Structure 1
């Protein structure tokens, strides 16, 4: 039985989670068009370095150029915004996010050591003149500053501006679900950047076939929850995005970067704590609510992908290439 959707069916239904986009679109000449952007996901509105949250990532297929995943999985913590962009803009987005965090925390690089910045990417070079490298560090900072707990915009926005999915216009999609245990309600939210698949692979629609030469593509999947989970359990949630991805028809191609990051807002880890022990409450692995959380991840991943198609719009990119909006009716 499907789970109940969150109030806004959005990752920001998880209390405190914020999303911000910066979108760049400009036709430079007959050959080149800037058609790209950056998206920021903030686990909470406080200082992410001094109040870290439990997190984990899972690489389904590793044809990707993300940063920060090694330390994320080693320590099980997120201490910066999660940033999404195109493949050639990982560097400037990382720099901008680092600048933002350094401004917020004067001790980083001095008394507090370094900071781990997490940036995920997809290849938008079919529509975007990616070699121009139009995104600058300031755009990453702007996306973070724009982040809010309101309903996140979907489709051809932010990091999703130049993305494709199943031969149609893809991009940013989001969804949420509610699970219940012992009269306690928990929310699971998902935000994705879709950039994968051919039309004849889609399982949720009978799309007309179209032969165009595009990269294999990728998808970034971000899972947020307020359920009290720690990093090993969050890795289990991240793994279940693969089932939601498969439901849509993805073959997880050779050249595809299919990467999931999951975090919980329930227990914050204070950077400056002096105690040598840490205590937390977490859900028992054997409790039946874990299966509901897995189901919520699968359902939200699948729906977020479809929503990225529903809410995109026909877009013209470089060399006059046009990618159409998918013929999926709004509910």
Structure 2
């Protein structure tokens, strides 16, 4: 395992029976790219940007999308137009809460410079956020327009960096250091092989569950985590199944439901959102055929959260606060039992 971080599958944790794509990442969906820009000035700044860029998306060629807010305590820029029109017309950017508005402006500026946008007079930038203020000086708003542009311009297919990277740099979930995580599933829907991929920005409260077993920091020999009621989660789901916006909204619901599997408590101050988008325009899948795709999303989101925890690193941040990583060997020993 030298040269890369452990993931859930390396510990034998593989939710469900469906197979993942080759990278076990949202980028297994053809035409989906991911870019990160980490903004780190220890000990006080641990922040950044993550961009999910579907090929060809634009106001003139929007992609079908659905949105579900499990708990709407958040600053999801562009949410109402997704709900109203069932489409996205820009890449999706994730960042820190107080940097969401600067990121939206930077996304608009970047797009207006792209070919084909010379006559654009309206854009709906989509920017999600989680609050990294436990570990990072959030009031300094360290994410700048150049960071957003770098994440967009370096977005690539293939393996996706996880843990303390990009928009996940300063986050914690379920009592441990967390961050960005991703996973995918291959499934047959309506007579066609398709892929569903998930990417999470994990920062939510609760008690971690792995395979139905609760896992606290004390169980694996590390210090206590942050307030278990604090935090949020942004989930992005992509698929090349030919779905309409209503069906993608149904997928988005399952993505939020999946957080219960890993122990989320959906607290008062938790912004639990999912956006599901399709890379193929136009419906064509019957509702009765969606069951396997629902399963794929539930399993991929569960594994993505676990990957976000296992890839993260113990971080000492603003005001001396610390979030400890979930130790892989400690978790392995706990799951094996005496």
When normalised by structure 2's length, the TM-score is 0.87
| CA distance in structure 1 between the aligned counterparts of 2:270 and 2:113, rounded to whole angstroms | 35
| CA distance in structure 2 between the aligned counterparts of 1:152 and 1:292, rounded to whole angstroms | 25
What do residues 61-113 of structure 1 show as CA deviations (whole Å, max 9, x unaligned)?
A: 011011101001111111111010010001111111011110015646xx443
Matched position secondary structure for 1:178: strand
Indicate which of 63, 68, 73 corresponds to 2:73: 63
**For the structure 1 residues 128 and 244, does the alpha-carbon distance in structure 2 shift closer, same or farther, using more than 3 Å as the test?**
same
Shift in Å, 1:213: 4.1
| CA distance in structure 2 between the aligned counterparts of 1:233 and 1:113, rounded to whole angstroms | 30
**For the structure 1 residues 159 and 107, does the alpha-carbon distance in structure 2 shift closer, same or farther, using more than 3 Å as the test?**
closer
| CA distance in structure 2 between the aligned counterparts of 1:182 and 1:257, rounded to whole angstroms | 33
Confirm whether residue 3 of structure 1 aligns to residue 18 of structure 2: yes
What do residues 201-256 of structure 1 show as CA deviations (whole Å, max 9, x unaligned)?
A: 22215223426447610000000000000100000000001221000010100000
The aligned length equals: 308
Confirm whether residue 95 of structure 1 aligns to residue 95 of structure 2: no
Confirm whether residue 179 of structure 1 aligns to residue 194 of structure 2: no
Confirm whether residue 262 of structure 1 aligns to residue 276 of structure 2: yes
**For the structure 1 residues 319 and 17, does the alpha-carbon distance in structure 2 shift closer, same or farther, using more than 3 Å as the test?**
same
Shift in Å, 1:182: 5.6
Confirm whether residue 23 of structure 1 aligns to residue 38 of structure 2: yes
**Residue equivalent to 2:11:** none
Shift in Å, 1:50: 3.1
Indicate which of 6, 26, 36 corresponds to 2:47: 36
| CA distance in structure 2 between the aligned counterparts of 1:182 and 1:143, rounded to whole angstroms | 35
Shift in Å, 1:128: 0.4
| CA distance in structure 1 between the aligned counterparts of 2:175 and 2:297, rounded to whole angstroms | 25
Is this contact kept in 1: 2:48–2:169, CA < 8 A?
yes
Is this contact kept in 2: 1:47–1:104, CA < 8 A?
no
**Residue equivalent to 1:164:** 172
**Residue equivalent to 1:299:** 299
- The answer for unaligned runs of 5 or more in structure 2 is 1-15, 219-223, 333-338
What do residues 129-156 of structure 1 show as CA deviations (whole Å, max 9, x unaligned)?
A: 0111111111111100010012110000
**Residue equivalent to 1:270:** none
Is this contact kept in 2: 1:126–1:214, CA < 8 A?
no
Matched position secondary structure for 2:261: helix
| CA distance in structure 2 between the aligned counterparts of 1:213 and 1:262, rounded to whole angstroms | 29
**For the structure 1 residues 25 and 121, does the alpha-carbon distance in structure 2 shift closer, same or farther, using more than 3 Å as the test?**
same
| CA distance in structure 2 between the aligned counterparts of 1:213 and 1:180, rounded to whole angstroms | 41
**Residue equivalent to 2:12:** none
| CA distance in structure 2 between the aligned counterparts of 1:55 and 1:211, rounded to whole angstroms | 35
Shift in Å, 1:48: 2.8
Confirm whether residue 227 of structure 1 aligns to residue 237 of structure 2: no
Please tell me the root mean square deviation across aligned C-alpha atoms, in Å.
Answer: 1.8
| CA distance in structure 1 between the aligned counterparts of 2:257 and 2:117, rounded to whole angstroms | 41
| CA distance in structure 2 between the aligned counterparts of 1:131 and 1:281, rounded to whole angstroms | 44
**For the structure 1 residues 124 and 66, does the alpha-carbon distance in structure 2 shift closer, same or farther, using more than 3 Å as the test?**
same
| CA distance in structure 2 between the aligned counterparts of 1:154 and 1:264, rounded to whole angstroms | 23
When normalised by structure 1's length, the TM-score is 0.88
**Residue equivalent to 1:276:** none
Matched position secondary structure for 1:154: coil
